[in-house]
Amino acid sequence: MGFELYALEQSGAGGRTLRVSIDHSEPITIEDCERVSRIAGPLLDHSELIDGPYDLEVSSPGAERPLRAHADYERFNGKRVNIRYRTGTSETVVEGPLVAVDSAGIAVSALGARGRAPVIVHIAWDDVVAGRLAVSI
């Protein structure tokens, strides 16, 4: 099938809901989620993960998915991102196209003030607090 397990969460009253988030190099479709659900359901029924009835929810990581690993940043280089990062003792947020990813960190093209040219913000990996894709509307 070629899908990757992106996240697994057990929630709801008594932990009776199992949320599975899948990923793939191509966009995830509703048909993909249905296919994974049809295959995973019987496997979970025979496992000891959840005893008794449960709800299985299969989804994609979403349009504003978190960027969790270096590989995520490489994969989405060129896409619009929202990055929260440390600047000394405080945190700052920058949003714009991810323009570079390397072993030292990332670079985001941020809008310049009052119509000025974009500014490239370089952020070291150690300073990245959180990152996610950002949808522009």
Query: What are the pLDDT digits (tens) for 52-90?
Result: 888 999 999 999 999 999 999 999 999 999 999 999 899
Instruction: Please give the model's pTM, rounded to 2 decimal places.
Output: 0.81
Looking at domain 4-59, which of 3.30.70.260, 2.60.40.1180, 3.40.50.280, 3.30.300.70 is its CATH number?
3.30.300.70
Residue 51 has pLDDT above 90, yes or no: no
Fold classified for 70-133: SH3 type barrels. (2.30.30)
Instruction: Return the pLDDT at 38.
Output: 94
The dihedral of CA 70, 76, 77, 79: what is its sign? negative
DSSP per-residue string spanning 17-82: EEEEEEE-SSPP-HHHHHHHHHHHHHHHHTSSSS-S--EEEEE---TT-B--SHHHHHHTTTSEEE
The residue extents of the domains of the chain are 4-59, 70-133
Q: Are 4-59 and 70-133 equal in CATH topology?
A: no
Residue 115 has pLDDT above 80, yes or no: no
Please give the average per-residue pLDDT across 104-129, as a whole number.
90
Instruction: Return the pLDDT at 137.
Output: 77
Instruction: Return the pLDDT at 15.
Output: 77
